[in-house]
Structure 1
Amino acid sequence: MSSIEIRHIVFDIGKVLIHYDPNLPFSRIIPDEAERQWFFANVCTHDWNIEQDRGRPWEEAEALLIKDHPEREEHIRAFRKHWQEMVPHAYVETVSLMENLIAEGRDVTMLTNFASDTFREAQLLYPFLTMPRGVTVSGDVGLIKPDVAIYETHARAFDLEPSATLFIDDSMPNVEGARLAGWHAVHFTDPEKLKADLSAYGIQR
Structure 2
Amino acid sequence: MTVKAVIFDIGNVLIEWNPERFYDWQIGRAEREALFAEVDLHAMNEEIDAGGPFRETIYAWADRHPEWQSEIRMWFDNWIDMASPAIDGSISLMRALRARGMPVHALTNFGIHSFAFAQTQYDFLSEFDRAFVSGHMGVTKPDPRIYELVEQETGLAPHELLFTDDRQDNIVAAEERGWRCHRFDGWQGWARRLVSEGLLTETEAGL
Instruction: Normalising by structure 2, report the TM-score.
Output: 0.89
1:190 is matched with which residue? 186
Name which of 49, 74, 79 aligns with 1:78. Answer: 74
Deviation at 1:24, TM superposition (A): 4.6
Name which of 180, 199, 202 aligns with 1:203. Answer: 199
2:109 touches 2:140 (CA, 8 Å); kept in 1? Answer: yes
2:97 touches 2:199 (CA, 8 Å); kept in 1? Answer: no
Q: How far apart, CA to CA, are the structure 2 residues paired with 1:161 and 1:52?
A: 30
1:44 touches 1:76 (CA, 8 Å); kept in 2? Answer: no
Deviation at 1:204, TM superposition (A): 3.2
Q: How far apart, CA to CA, are the structure 2 residues paired with 1:37 and 1:149?
A: 34
Query: Is the aligned partner of 1:10 residue 2:14?
Result: no
Deviations 1:8-45 (A, max 9, x none): 110101111111121354234423x1121121232143
1:180 is matched with which residue? 176
1:138 is matched with which residue? 134
Alignment of 1:113-152 (within 5 A): 113-152=109-148
SS at match of 1:10: strand
Aligned length: 200
Q: 1:5 to 1:115 in 2, by over 3 A?
A: same
1:43 touches 1:65 (CA, 8 Å); kept in 2? Answer: no
Alignment of 1:88-167 (within 5 A): 88-167=84-163
Higher mean Cα deviation, 188-197 or 107-116? 188-197
Query: Is the aligned partner of 1:168 residue 2:182?
Result: no
1:6 alignment partner AA: V
Q: How far apart, CA to CA, are the structure 2 residues paired with 1:125 and 1:190?
A: 22
Name which of 46, 50, 61 aligns with 1:50. Answer: 46
1:21 is matched with which residue? 18
Deviation at 1:64, TM superposition (A): 4.0
Unaligned runs of 5+ in 1: none
Q: How far apart, CA to CA, are the structure 2 residues paired with 1:38 and 1:45?
A: 12
SS at match of 1:168: strand
Q: How far apart, CA to CA, are the structure 2 residues paired with 1:35 and 1:196?
A: 40
SS at match of 1:110: strand
Q: Cα RMSD (Å) of the superposition?
A: 1.7
2:205 is matched with which residue? none
Deviation at 1:75, TM superposition (A): 1.4
Moved over 6 A (4+): none
2:48 touches 2:57 (CA, 8 Å); kept in 1? Answer: no
